[in-house]
Chains A and B, each alone.
Chain A
Amino acid sequence: MNKPFDNRAWFLVLPVFLLVAFSAILPLMTVVNYSVQDTFGNNQFFWAGTDWYVQLLASERFHQALGRQLLFSAIILLIQIPLGVLIALCMPRKGWTVSLTLVLMALPLLIPWNVVGTIWQVFGRGDIGLLGYTLNRIGLDYNYVNNIGDAWVTIVVMDVWHWTSLVALLAYAGLRSIPDAYYQAAKIDGASRWSIFRLIQLPKMKHVLIIAVLLRFMDSFMIYTEPFVLTGGGPGNSTTFLSIDLVKLALGQFDLGPAAAMSIVYFLVILLLSWVFYTVMTRDENERQGGAS
Chain B
Amino acid sequence: MAAITLDRLAHSYLPHPSAPSDYALKPLDITWRDGGAYALLGPSGCGKTTLLNIISGLVAPSEGRVLFDGTDVTRMPTEHRNIAQVFQFPVIYDTMTVAENLAFPLKNRGLAKAEINARVHEIAEMLDLRGDLNRRAARLTADAKQKISLGRGLVRSDTAAILFDEPLTVIDPQLKWELRAQLKQLHQKVGRTMIYVTHDQTEAMTFADTVVVMYDGGVVQIGKPVDLFQRPAHTFVGYFIGSPGMNVLPATIEGRVAHIGSSSVFLADDYPTLPAGKIEIGVRPENIALKTGAEGLPVRITRVDDIGRIRIARTVFEDHEINVVLPEDTPIPTDPRAVPIADRVHVYADGHIVDASPVRGHA
Contacts and interface: CB of A to CB of B under 8 A. Distances in A.
A179 B77 CA distance: 20
B291 to A, nearest CB: 50
Interface in A93-121: none
Interface string A147-183: 0000000000000000000000000000000010110
A185 B85 contact: yes
A191 interface: yes
A181 B53 CA distance: 11
A182 B79 contact: no
Nearest to A185: B91
A192 B109 CA distance: 11
B94 A203 contact: yes
Contact of A288 (B104, B109, B136): B136
B58 to A, nearest CB: 5
Contacts of B96: 199
A184 interface: yes
SS class, residues of chain A in contact with chain B: helix
B105 A288 contact: no
Contacts of A192: 108
> Considering residues B91, B95, B109, which has the most beta carbons from chain A within 10 angstroms of its beta carbon?
B91
Given A184-B58, A203-B94, A292-B139, A189 B89 contact: no
A137 interface: no
Contacts of A184: 56, 58, 78, 85, 87
B139 A189 contact: no
Contacts of A185: 85, 87, 91, 149, 152
Interface centre among A190, A204, A288 (most CB of B within 10 A): A190
Interface in B73-98: 77-79, 83-85, 87-89, 91, 93-96
A195 interface: yes
Contact of A189 (B58, B95, B108, B138): B108
Contacts of A195: 108
A188 B85 contact: yes
A183 to B, nearest CB: 9
Interface in B124-146: 136, 138-139
Contacts of B108: 189-192, 195
A291 interface: yes
B139 A191 contact: no
A190 B79 contact: yes
A248 interface: no
A187 interface: yes
Given A192-B108, A288-B138, A291-B139, A187 B91 contact: no
B139 A288 contact: yes
Nearest to A287: B136
A181 B94 CA distance: 14
A97 B79 CA distance: 29
A190 B138 contact: no
Nearest to B81: A188
A30 to B, nearest CB: 48
Contact of B83 (A179, A181, A188, A292): A188
A288 B139 CA distance: 7
Given A184-B58, A200-B93, A190 B87 contact: no
Interface residues on A, range: 10 to 19
Contacts of A187: 58, 77-79
A189 B105 contact: yes
Interface string A191-210: 11001000110011000000
B105 A179 contact: no
B93 A188 contact: no
Contact of A181 (B89, B95, B109, B139): B89
Contact of B89 (A179, A188, A200): A179
B88 A181 contact: yes
Nearest to B140: A292
B95 A203 contact: yes
A181 B89 CA distance: 8
Contacts of A203: 93-95
Given A182-B91, A185-B149, A190 B85 contact: no
Nearest to A198: B95
A221 B64 CA distance: 61
Contacts of A179: 89, 91
Nearest to B56: A188
A110 B161 CA distance: 53
A201 to B, nearest CB: 11
Nearest to A289: B139
Contact of A188 (B79, B95, B139): B79
B24 to A, nearest CB: 16
Nearest to B159: A188
B55 to A, nearest CB: 12
Nearest to B109: A190
Among A185, A189, A292: residue with most chain B CB under 10 A = A189
A153 B179 CA distance: 61
A202 to B, nearest CB: 9
B362 to A, nearest CB: 52
A189 B104 contact: yes
12 contacts: A181-B88, A184-B85, A185-B87, A187-B58, A188-B79, A188-B83, A191-B108, A199-B95, A203-B94, A204-B94, A288-B136, A292-B139
Given A184-B58, A187-B78, A203-B94, 7 more contacts: A179-B89, A181-B91, A182-B91, A185-B149, A185-B152, A203-B93, A292-B139
Interface of B: 56, 58, 77-79, 83-85, 87-89, 91, 93-96, 104-105, 108-109, 136, 138-139, 149, 152-153
User: What are the 7 closest A-B residue pairs judged by CB atoms, nearest first?
Assistant: A190-B108, A181-B87, A185-B91, A189-B105, A187-B78, A190-B79, A199-B93
